């Protein structure tokens, strides 16, 4: 369930990749070079900085369903530090690169589970810690959104179980499976 919420969060951010400035209506300020507010046909709105008719600088994008992105934009996309919040209260705070969480970040799920660590192309990748809402904790290596490599899983009763690395696979799967590399921001479209 938490992975589904993560995918939904990424759907929010995807909208920036497909947004065309001319599809909206500048209702306040300077939406070409300056600060302004852009309203879109679907009820979404952006308030922030523009340069050469692109979202550039600091801004906030509000989705009509209650989701929101606040942070840095470059070339009309989230790039740099930002916060993406879902209407259900789930929230990602961290670095973005071309719409994807990249680098260090923290995902707090509405269930109460929290992941803090490395991200690559929108997936947990590298070293990170997941504190599950049950109280269990995994600290270790992640690969393409899954626990893989060295790590320690600590149960609520504080017993630890070391995780040994598996032998690496020779090829990567071409089809995405649930809990893997499906970028979740493909459902949000901005106009």
Give the model confidence (pLDDT) of 118-127 as tens digits: 999 999 999 9
- Judged on CB neighbours under 10 Å (0-12, 13-18, 19+), 172 is exposed
What's the pLDDT at 183?
A: 34
The domain of 166 spans 2-186
131 part of a folded domain: yes
- The pLDDT confidence band at residue 81, using thresholds 50, 70 and 90, is very high
What's the pLDDT at 72?
A: 97
Task: Say whether pLDDT at 21 is over 60.
Answer: no
How big is the CA angle at 138 (ends 172 and 86), to the nearest 5 degrees?
80
191 part of a folded domain: no
Question: If you average pLDDT over every residue of the chain, what do you get?
Answer: 80
Mean pLDDT of 4-13: 58
87 part of a folded domain: yes
CA distance 168 to 70: 38
Q: Domain with 182 in it: what CATH number?
A: 2.60.450
| CB 173, CB 181: distance < 8 Å | no
Identify the residue with better confidence: 170 or 33.
33
Domain count, the chain: 1
Beta-sheet pairing, 100-108 with 114-120: antiparallel
CA distance 56 to 72: 7
């Amino acid at each position: 369930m938490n992975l589904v919420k993560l995918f939904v969060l990424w759907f929010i951010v995807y909208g920036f990749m497909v947004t065309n400035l001319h599809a909206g209506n500048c209702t306040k300020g300077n939406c070409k070079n300056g600060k302004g507010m852009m309203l879109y046909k679907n009820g979404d709105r952006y308030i922030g900085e523009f340069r050469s008719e692109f979202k550039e600088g600091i801004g906030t994008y509000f989705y009509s369903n209650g989701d929101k992105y606040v942070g840095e934009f470059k070339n009309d996309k989230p790039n740099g530090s930002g916060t993406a919040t879902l209407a259900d209260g789930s929230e990602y705070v961290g670095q973005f690169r071309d719409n994807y969480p990249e680098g260090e970040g923290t995902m707090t799920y509405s269930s109460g589970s929290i992941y803090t660590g490395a991200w690559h192309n929108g997936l947990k990748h590298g070293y990170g810690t997941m504190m599950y809402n049950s109280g269990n904790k995994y600290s270790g290596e992640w690969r393409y959104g899954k626990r893989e490599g060295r790590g320690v899983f600590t149960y609520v009763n504080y017993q630890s179980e070391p995780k040994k690395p598996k032998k690496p696979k020779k090829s990567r799967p071409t089809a995405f499976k649930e809990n893997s590399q499906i970028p979740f921001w493909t459902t949000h479209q901005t106009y």
